Structures are given as structure tokens and as C-alpha cells.
Amino acid sequence: MKYLEKLKRVGKFDLYAYTKVCFNGEIPEFLEKYLTLPMFQTLEGKGQFCGVENTKLFHPRCKYNRLDHSMNCAGIIWSLTQDKKRTIRALCHDLRTVSFAHTIDFLLKDTMNQNSAENLIDMKKILQESKKFREYLEEDGITQEELEDIIAPERDSLVDIERPGLCVDRLEGILSTNYIWLNICSIEDVKKVVNNLTICENSQGKEEISFKNLEQGKLFFKMMLSYAYALQSKEDKYSMQFIANLLDIAIQDGLLKIEDLYTLEEEQVVLLLKKNYEIWREFAALDKVEASNLCPKGYYVKTEVKKRYAIPLVKIAGKNIRITEIDSECNDKLQEFFKFKEKKYLFHDKIKVLVRNDVC
């Protein structure tokens, strides 16, 4: 079944509309065959939002997984370039994702860089060992020598670029966070942003996704700030650290190995946690998180995390300029974000301790 038809069949109409915007109408036929491969089907079992959707702290429009994210990244690249190789590279960029994604970086004590979990997976091995994947590349005119370019998304600045630049991974993450996870923008807002995208050369001589005009650049910048603050929020940090801590206990109790998090779907892991740890039910019922600079009694989270943001380029009078250099309001809001710091201790009155009881 084709991807868009599947979304309609399972009732994900908001996601259907969003995906059509990313692809500017329809998904190209050549892309559909890749979705039949196990490596991409595995991404369906891995959520985009790191497990925090398991609480009542957020109210997403629908479930959104890493395959959805990868497809929509591919859609934006296809709309901008009509280039098969770059589109497939965008589709492949998250193949190293583990269940709960960056929450596993919290487990690995890497909250500031958040790249430890994916570095444990050899994407080269994944792609080279799939005979069918290599056959599909050949059908699409991509040689075995060019496979190296697919394996390394960082070779393409449209797919992966250092901050403050805007690549498709960052762009789509911001759009889907606002539209699907936080549910604070409309599909019309998404259309305005996507339809205004272009490709320019930045000051380092690299290609970068940018905006044709200031108005839509500012609309996207507003979305970027919502995304940036959400990932610094007490609700997000508490949820990710809680899941990381409970997974650590499950590993210590012999219920899981960290390697399992690369093969199991998130729902399978959640069922395991729910079955063995009564505290998971308390966590899933959370609808608020408290913050204090005074150390509370019992269980709390005290975590500094990476600040995620982007400063888009906008074309003004024939020049490509960072939006904060031409709009003082955007610059002021960005400086406010850089100064933002949540209170030191995050906690909830109902969760006093991470229990180890009820282990089978």
C-alpha cells in the first residue's frame, strides 16, 4: 500500500495533509519501493518525540514516527531539488535512530551533545548489507561508488548542517514539532513556510535552505522559538530523564540490554516497563511538572540539555542574510532564548522514588 493511502486508511488525516505539503502534492513513485525494506519499516516503531508523548503533558495531533519524519524530509528535498540521490539521502538520514531517540543520549549521560546513541550504530553496514537497497539505488541511477554519499548525510548541507544553519532535518523537526506535537500552528502556516523555501549559498560557501522573503522567514522563526523552548521545558526534560532513568534500572535488573533499544519498537519497551514497574503508570498519568531552585524531597530531575535552534537566511535585496541581522525583534527574542534557564530541580509530587518492585 502506498504511503499516503496508508495514512488515510488509518485515519491520520492531519499527517496526510502535512505530508502532501512537504511533497508539494504527491510522493514520487521511485521513493515508494524503499519503504518496503525492513530498515525503513523499523523506523515506524520509533517515535519522533523521544517518548514524551507517553504522558499527558503534551497533546499531539497524532502519533508521529521516525519514518514519517524521514519521509517528510525527503519530500522537502525532492520539492526543492528534484534530485533522486539527495532525496534518498534525506530518507536515510535517521536510520541510526534508537527507540526513544535522544532520550537514550540522556541514558548515556550525553545531554549536551545528544549524539552518543546514534554513534553506536554503523549505518554503512546497514546499507551495504541490504542487497535490495543496492538494487533499488541502481534502478534510480545511483552507482555503488555513490553509496558512500548516501551513507554520510553530513556530506550534504541541505540534509545536515552545523548551527545556526538550516538543513532539512532541523527544518522538518521544527515544523512537525509545531504542527503535530505542540499542535500550535495550522496547515496553512506550514504551507506558507514550505512554499517560501529556496536554496542559497551561505557565507561558508555551502548550500543552505533559506527563505525568499522576510515575512515567511519571521513566521518560521516564531515556530523555531516555540520548538526551542519546548525542548528546554521542564515537561520535556523531566520526561526524557525519567524514561532514561527507568530504562537504566531495567537494564540493571536484566530485563533489557542497551542493544535491544535498537531492535525493539518503543511500544514493546513501554509494555515491558508497564508490566514490571508500577511507577510507569504514575508517569503516564502526569499532566504537570513542578520546578524549584530548592531541592525537593524524593525523586527529582536536575538536567542541563543542548539548546536546539536555527537562524534562517532570508534573501534581501539580492543578498542572503541571517534573519537576526536584519530584524531586531528576532534578534532580541533569540537573545532572550539564549539566556533562558529553567529552575534547577524538576519533580512531581506523586513520584517520590523510582521503584524496583514488581519485577517479574
What digits encode the pLDDT tens for the residues 133-163?
999 999 999 998 888 888 888 889 999 999 9
Which residues have a Cβ under 8 Å from the Cβ of 331 and sit 6 or more positions away?
Answer: 324, 325
Cis, bond preceding 164 (omega within 30 deg of 0): yes
Q: Which pLDDT value is given to residue 356?
A: 44
Contacts of 351 (CB under 8 A, 6+ apart): 242, 279, 282, 283, 286, 298, 299
Return the DSSP state at 178: I
DSSP state string for 191-210 = HHHHHTEEEEE-TTS-EEEE
| pLDDT value for 360 | 29
Count Cβ atoms below 10 Å from residue 252 Cβ, excluding itself: 10
What length does the chain have?
A: 360
Tens of pLDDT, residues 16-26: 999 999 999 99
Cα pseudo-dihedral 228, 233, 236, 239, rounded to 10? 160
**CA 287 to chain CA centroid, nearest Å:** 22
- The sign of the CA dihedral 115, 116, 122, 126 is negative
Which pLDDT does position 58 carry in this prediction? 95
Q: Give CA–CA dist 307/342, Å, rounded.
A: 12
Q: How far apart are the first and last CA of the chain?
A: 40
Task: Give long-range contacts, CB 8 A cutoff, 24+ apart: 341-344.
Answer: 342/232, 342/233, 342/234, 342/237, 342/291, 343/234, 343/291, 343/292, 343/293, 344/291, 344/292, 344/293, 344/295, 344/302
Q: pLDDT value at position 8?
A: 95
Tens place of pLDDT for every residue, the chain, 360 residues?
A: 899 999 999 999 999 999 999 999 999 999 999 999 999 999 999 999 999 999 999 999 999 999 999 999 999 999 999 999 999 999 999 999 999 999 999 999 999 999 899 887 888 888 888 999 999 999 999 998 888 888 888 889 999 999 999 999 999 999 999 999 999 999 999 999 999 999 999 999 999 999 999 999 999 999 999 999 999 999 999 999 999 999 999 999 999 999 899 889 999 999 999 999 999 999 999 999 999 999 998 899 998 999 999 999 999 999 999 999 999 999 999 999 999 999 999 999 889 887 544 332
Q: Which helix (H) or strand (E) holds 295?
A: none
Q: Residues 241, 301: contact at Cβ < 8 Å?
A: yes
- Give the relative orientation of helices 234-252 and 266-276 as an angle to the nearest 10 degrees: 70
Helix (H, G, I), strand (E, B) or coil at 279: helix
- CA nearest to 194, candidates 3, 19, 4: 19
pTM of the predicted model, to two decimals? 0.95
- Distance between CA 27 and CA 268 in Å, rounded? 30
Q: What integer pLDDT is reported at residue 354 of this predicted model?
A: 75
Residue-level pLDDT at 127: 85
Cα dihedral 184, 189, 195, 200 sign: negative
**8 A C-beta contact, residue 44 and residue 62:** no
**Coil, helix or strand at residue 314:** strand
Look up cell 529556496; give the residue: 198
Whether 223 contacts 328, CB under 8 Å? no
